[in-house]
Every structure is written in structure tokens, then in C-alpha cells.
Amino acid sequence: MGPGALGGLMMALLVATPEAIGAVRAASANNLQRAVNIFLGSVLSTIGLTIPAMLMVSHFTGRSLVLGLQNTDVVMLVLTLGVSVVTFASGRTNVLQGAVHLLLFAAYLLLIFQG
């Protein structure tokens, strides 16, 4: 990866910061379910709208859209989606699920700086 991945991370942080602040406040008030709903819901809706919008733009401009995922990126994407499905499908969240999400994020950060 490299500077492009770091730029993408900075952009994601910029987009997600307001929701993250609300989620941290909810978590500090011992309202874990609300924290997960605020943060993951808003991030998923943002990402869920970005890809279809880019697909439409690429279709109308006649250009192809390449996500440019390496093998490690695909594995991280599948793992993150799988953990998210487990988190949302269970109906209730717990600390273990949050820890798994944090570990996946830490692994992503480490993979950004991998040569």
C-alpha cells in the first residue's frame, strides 16, 4: 500500500469523526449498543453510498472503475464484513465483538505501512 491508502484512511477519519465522537460519548455512558449503532451505522451508510455513486459516475463517463484491492485487502474486507454481519445479526453487542473490530482495525493500520 502506501500514500494512497494513508490518504484514504485520513479521509475516512475526517468523514467518521462526528459519529465517532457521539459513539464515544454513548460508550462512556455505558450504552454500548447505541455506540455501535451510531458509529457503524453511519460509516456503513457513507461507504454504502460511495461505491454505488462512483459506479454511476464511471458508467455515465464511460470509464471503468477499478477498486485496486490487493490479496491482503480482499482478506481484510471479507473478515470485516463477516465480523460486521455477526455483530449486527446478534441483536446485542458485547465487549468481545468490539475488541474484534478494534483488532481488525489495528491489523489494517499495520498493513497500510507494509512494503
Q: What is the pLDDT of residues 53-102, one digit of tens each?
A: 888 998 999 998 877 777 888 888 889 889 988 887 877 778 898 899 99
pLDDT at 115 over 70: no
**Interatomic CA distance for residues 17 and 90, integer angstroms:** 26
115: exposed, middle or buried (Cβ count in 10 Å: 0-12, 13-18, 19+)? exposed
What is the CB neighbour count within 10 angstroms for residue 38?
21
Nearest in space to 38 (alpha carbons), one of 17, 12, 14, 53: 17
CA dihedral 13, 46, 101, 109 (to 10 degrees): -40
- Backbone conformation region of residue 86, classed left if phi is above 0, alpha if psi is from -120 to 50, else beta: alpha
* Of residues 38 and 45, more confidently modeled: 38
